[in-house]
Copies of this chain bind each other. A is one copy, B any other.
Amino acid sequence: MDNTRWLDEQEMAAWTGFLAASNLLGRRVEQQLKDDADLSHPQYEILTRLSAAPCGELRMTELADALLTSKSGLTYQVTQLEKSGMVRRRSFPGDVRGVVACLTDEGWAKVRETAPGHVALVRELLIDVLTREQLTAIAEGLGEVSRRLRASTVR
């Protein structure tokens, strides 16, 4: 017996569209960040997360699950950013094990000068291509999808 519920045309289109957009967009964004700011996308994410946090600093763990990357991956990227002077590590007062990453002045400067170009690209390639209805559908639909994924993921 084959009782698999295969995908109909519409569903298939959604899945392949999602996959393709995800690959191609990721690639383009990565490319632009590398060219304009000499940053990888994960690195850019780290910088913006930090810049949005009070005092420009966050615990490693908080960063790690905001970034959706593995712990070791984060360690690596933060080390890179530290080498290039964008970020500094400090130890967390109150728990010797804890480490907080902290934006340096150059880090702040980098974010300020990089963000506009990044936003412009995202707008051009994604946001402005969609109708308002598509935009809200995506915001709500994929929002729900990722909420469930987060919830069901073993921490």
Interface residues of A (CB under 8 A from B): 2, 4-7, 10-11, 13-15, 17-18, 20-28, 68, 115-116, 119-120, 122-123, 125-127, 129-131, 133-146, 148-150, 153
Extra A-B contacts (11), CB below 8 Å, given A4-B115, A135-B141: A7-B123, A7-B127, A14-B127, A14-B139, A18-B25, A21-B142, A21-B145, A22-B22, A23-B68, A24-B150, A133-B137
Pairwise interchain contact B22-A135, C-beta atoms closer than 8 A? no
| Interface-central residue, A119, A129, A133, A142, by most chain B CB under 10 Å | A142
Pairwise interchain contact A26-B22, C-beta atoms closer than 8 A? yes
Pairwise interchain contact A148-B129, C-beta atoms closer than 8 A? yes
What separation, in Å, do the CA atoms of A10 and B130 have in the docked complex?
A: 12
- The 9 A-B pairs with the shortest beta carbon distances in the complex, nearest first, are A137-B137, A134-B141, A17-B142, A20-B146, A13-B139, A24-B149, A14-B139, A17-B143, A4-B116
Pairwise interchain contact B142-A14, C-beta atoms closer than 8 A? yes
Chain A residues touching B, majority SS: helix
What separation, in Å, do the CA atoms of A7 and B130 have in the docked complex?
A: 14
With contact pairs A22-B26, A68-B24 given, residues A145 and B125 touching in the complex (Cβ less than 8 Å): yes
Pairwise interchain contact A130-B119, C-beta atoms closer than 8 A? no
Minimal Cβ-Cβ distance residue in B for A4 = B116
Q: A5 contacts which chain B residues (CB < 8 A)?
A: 119-120, 123
User: Which residue of B10, B131, B144, B153 is within 8 Å of A139 (Cβ)?
Assistant: B10
